[in-house]
Amino acid sequence: MSKSKKKKILSIAKMLLERGAAPNKRDGDGRTPIYRAVLAGNPEIVSLLLAHGAKPNIKDDNGTTPLSKTYDFDTMKILLEAGADPNVPANKGGPMLLEYWQNTLREMKNDYYKEGYRKIIELLKRHGAK
């Protein structure tokens, strides 16, 4: 997504929240706006929603939280600092920390991914992931 498009979306989101949009309202899949912002890869919207009372631990209809759907370090840090639970089961149903360890092992040949997963693992551990 282009920078200008992200800026426009952020502006619209600010306006909606200032006019009373519910930051924890669920859609047809039980997903909240913060969940959708995570899926869209938009940490600025995630921060904005949290500032307007979005709760980071609301599960969707499949029992997953926004934190379990992000692989972006900045978004994960924002969610964890806002109180997201790092011990909620991840995408495959196991502990999130285990899933990132497995991803690290799979990506050992690619230094870019290895470093990214290492940072995420350290971040999860600092926030109490087991």
DSSP 27-79: -TTS--HHHHHHHTT-HHHHHHHHHTT--TT---TTS--GGGG---HHHHHHH
**Is residue 100 pLDDT above 80, yes or no?**
no
Percentage with pLDDT > 70 across the chain:
80
pTM for this structure?
Answer: 0.78
CATH 1.25.40.20 fits 3-126, yes or no: yes
